[in-house]
Structure 1
Amino acid sequence: MPPDALLQASGIDAGYGTMQVLWGVDLDVRPGETVLLLGANGAGKTTFLKSLVGLIQARRGQIKLAGQDVTQTRSSDRMKLGMTYMSELAVFPDLSIEENIRVGAEALGHADPRARIEELYGVFPVLREKRRNPASSLSGGQRKMLGIAKALAADPKLLVMDEPSAGLSPLLVKEVLHVLADLRGRGLALLIAEQNISFLEIATRVFVLEGGHIRFSGTVAEMSDNESLRQAYFGLK
């Protein structure tokens, strides 16, 4: 693992009850880069992300964030160190748009998060227009934007995302990719778990997860040069 890594996961085993899902998973994210964790449904992507952010406890291995060992720490403490998580569901549908963002901003520890909320409305103007409406009133693409805004409200160094393309049309996936590319340009590190290969467009490096094991890690160019990997997993031409 590189010494300057923002996130380092080494030898992670994880699972649920008697079922083991991950075996010895290694992954790192460096400041400002976009890492794509590719894999089919059931590969273990969500389990791995949950172990990173502290929603489940890793059975073996070590997780370091910003140079600190967080393997045994709570999710809230990991958030304070700069890592936020956007699940596939992304938002609380019964809360208003602004209430969702305020929930995300709680980790800031500020008495008044209005400045951060206004900054995010500048990035996502459609949310400002609808800020008092319930999140359930938004389209699928707008919900994803709200989920991103909610995760960004804590001003993280690393945004961890689980299947941001889930339930979206190809056109809306392009909108999400545009937003994420802009965030990457602002210096935010991204770790994105996906099965949609469109996200290769914004990736710095790629890790392929299959059956709870990392089968490949490298750059997008290196993945493109691996003909068996392209055809076996993703049908890339």
Structure 2
Amino acid sequence: MPPEPQLLQARHIDAGYGTMQVLWGVDLDVRPGETVLLLGANGAGKTTFLKSLVGLVPVRQGRIDLAGTEVTHMRSSDRMRLGVTYMSELGVFPDLSIEENIRVGAQALGHPDPGARVDELYGLFPVLREKRRAAASSLSGGQRKMLGIAKALAAEPKLLVMDEPSAGLSPLFVKEVIRILGDLSQHGISLLIAEQNISFLEIATRVFVLEGGRIRFSGTVAEMSDNDALRRAYFGLK
């Protein structure tokens, strides 16, 4: 059988800031339609790795391929045109309205009908329709996170890369975000989620654990669950 195609393939990635190296030889891949969870504590290097994937942090060594095209030194805007969208912890423009935020996401890639795309996303997030003229800064933390997801989806990406979607949210809203992302994965969108909240394991296809800038584990959720030493060392589970 031919090997399973990769939507994203990162190999031997070294990256950092100035004289400080943060990542050492990181390997990670995402297949079409799957949800990959990158787990790690604060300071593990998750954000640096995500930014290297989307062109916001230069890669010192290694190679990144997206949909069969090498993008290691490609501009962020060109990577977006290949179908990758990045959602940071903030994820929105606070001073713009809800609708303006979503339109910015759609227009970033020249969507042929931004208005229609906005309406589609209001169907997924009806609470945003009710407040569409309000500034993003007026939303609750959970609602702002939903807007960030909607804005990222506006460009209809093949791969949505997310940094700590649970950050600042109550446990109730974390469950809602997990539900929304689980629904998205059923519609063929590939997800790469960097998190320290292990609740996101319930929607993951595969898991990578990053610690000290190096991948310490990669495998399925079941394989991670069977690794007692990993569970105790990184997540305090018994």
Alignment of 1:65-144 (within 5 A): 65-110=66-111, 112-144=113-145
User: In the TM superposition, what is the alpha-carbon distance from 1:222 to its structure 2 partner?
Assistant: 0.2
After TM superposition, the structure 1 = structure 2 runs for residues 1-237 of structure 1, keeping only pairs within 5 Å, are 3-110=4-111, 112-237=113-238
Asked if the contact 1:80–1:107 (Cα under 8 Å) also holds between the matched residues in 2, the reply is no
Aligned equivalents of 1:104, 1:88: Cα separation in 2: 16
CA distance in 2, matches of 1:111, 1:202: 32
Aligned-partner Cα distance in 2 for 1:168–1:212 = 26
CA deviation vs aligned residue, 1:184-204 (integer Å, no higher than 9, x gap): 011110000000000001000
CA contact (8 A) 1:14 1:20 kept: yes
Which AA in structure 2 matches 1:77? D
Q: State the alpha-carbon separation in 2 of the partners of residues 165 and 38 from structure 1.
A: 12
Q: Distance in 2 between matches of 1:58 and 1:128?
A: 40
- Counterpart of 1:232 in 2: which secondary structure? helix
Within 2, Cα distance between the matches of 1:27 and 1:229? 18
Identity across aligned pairs (percent)?
A: 83
Q: Deviations over 1:72-92 (max 9, x none)?
A: 111111111010000001111
Q: What stretches of structure 1 move > 2 A for 4+ residues in a row? A: none
Q: How far is the alpha carbon of 1:107 from its aligned partner?
A: 2.9
Quick one: distance in 2 between partners of 1:123 and 1:108? 21
Q: SS of 1:21's equivalent?
A: strand
CA deviation digits over 1:129-176, x for unaligned, max 9?
100000011010000000000000000010000000000011110000
In 2, the alpha carbon distance for the partners of 1:65 and 1:111 equals 23
In the aligned structure 2, how far is the partner of 1:110 from the partner of 1:161?
21
Distance in 2 (CA, whole Å) between partners of 1:135 and 1:235 is 36
Please give the root-mean-square deviation of Cα atoms over the aligned residues, in Å: 0.9
TM-fit CA distance, 1:110: 3.5
Task: Give CA-to-partner distance per residue, 1:72-124, whole Å, 9 cap, x none.
Answer: 11111111101000000111111100111111112331364111111111101
1:103, 1:150 within 8 Å by CA — same for their partners in 2?
A: yes
- 2:80/2:109 contact within 8 Å kept: no
**Which ranges in structure 1 are unaligned for 5 or more consecutive residues?**
none
Count the aligned residue pairs.
Answer: 236
Cα distance in structure 2, aligned partners of 1:190 and 1:95: 26
Structure 2 unaligned segments of length 5 or more: list them.
Answer: none
CA gap of 1:111–1:224, structure 2 versus 1, over 3 A, is closer
Provide the rounded CA distance (Å) in 1 between the counterparts of 2:223 and 2:116: 42
| TM-score normalised by structure 1 residue count | 0.98
**Is 1:105–1:154's contact at 8 Å kept on the other side of the alignment?**
yes
Q: Distance in 1 between matches of 2:113 and 2:155?
A: 12
